[in-house]
Each structure stands twice: as structure tokens, then as C-alpha cells.
Amino acid sequence: MRQIEIFEEEGVDMKRVCIGHSADTTDVEYLVRLLDRGVFLSMDRYPGGEGRPNWKHRNRTVKALIDRGYAGRLMLGHDYAPAPILVGAENIPPEEPTRYLFVTRTAIPALKKMGVSEDVIRTMTIDVPRRFLSGKE
């Protein structure tokens, strides 16, 4: 949190700050404290694993934040490229169909099964990034 305090001390507009790799923690209370300071969170590095929360844990964290009303400050993304899956490779786990479409093919359908609406998915994947990158709140 000290980094956020430094930004605030320097007069940074918190609406222009996005904290990446936020899905590397499942500490929802910590993430809520960040969001309450006005920043955006990039819930990325799907599918996770390798010493970090896996995609199912990431989805549970995202869902907890959505349930608390923060969908309008969350962005979903990959920012992680596991070892390539070769065309025609055998024994590809069904939850990992491809390294660059994991969010759209696995994480988002699972969020929908958890009760996240299409509107909220659109908010996190299209509307929030557009608002953040354009600077138009």
C-alpha cells in the first residue's frame, strides 16, 4: 500500500493508475483496500499456477470483487504465456485449450457458470479498458 500512498502524496490521479498482476493474490480484503483508493486492477496472468493462484482461484477472487460491486474497476487479461501447446499435441487438458485464448475460452465461461452476467463480462473486458485507456471516466 505504500506505493499507493506515494502516488497520492505526489498528487497522482488514482483514476489513471492500474495495478497489474492483481490476480496473483487471493487476498480480497487487500484488493478492496486498493480499489477503495480509486485505482483500477488488472486481474491478469491467467491461467496462473506455477507458485501463483491457478485460474480457478483467480476466478473466485474476481467473483468476490464483482459481488462487492467492483466490476467497473476490473480488467481481465492474460499477460502470461505458458509453454506452447503444439498443434496436434496429445493430452492437452480441456481447461487449457490455448495459451492466448484462455480467458475467453475457459475463464469467462466459468465466471458465467458462477453467475456473472454477460453485461458484467463486457464491462470488465471492453468498457473498463476503454474507459481507463481513454481517460474518460
Asked if the model's pLDDT at residue 88 lies above 70, the reply is: no
Assigned domain for 20 exists: yes
| 102 found inside a domain | yes
For residues 125 and 86, what is the distance between their CA atoms, to the nearest angstrom? 27
Is residue 95's pLDDT more than 60? no
Lowest mean pLDDT among 13-17, 57-61, 70-74, 91-95: 91-95
Neighbouring-strand partners of residue 19: 41
The structural domain count of the chain equals 1
- Mean pLDDT rounded to a whole number for the chain: 89
CATH of the domain at 76: 3.20.20.140
Domain extent for 39: 2-81+91-134
Residue 124: C-alpha distances to residues 12, 60, 73, 75, 90 (Å): 23, 15, 8, 5, 33
Residue-wise pLDDT for 54-63, tens only, equals 999 999 999 9
Would you say residue 91 has pLDDT above 90?
no
- Rg for the chain, CA atoms, rounded: 16
Q: Are 30 and 50 in contact (CB under 8 A)?
A: no
Average pLDDT of span 77-85: 66
Tell whether 30 is covered by a domain.
yes
d(CA 81, CA 25): 18
pLDDT at residue 49, rounded to an integer: 81
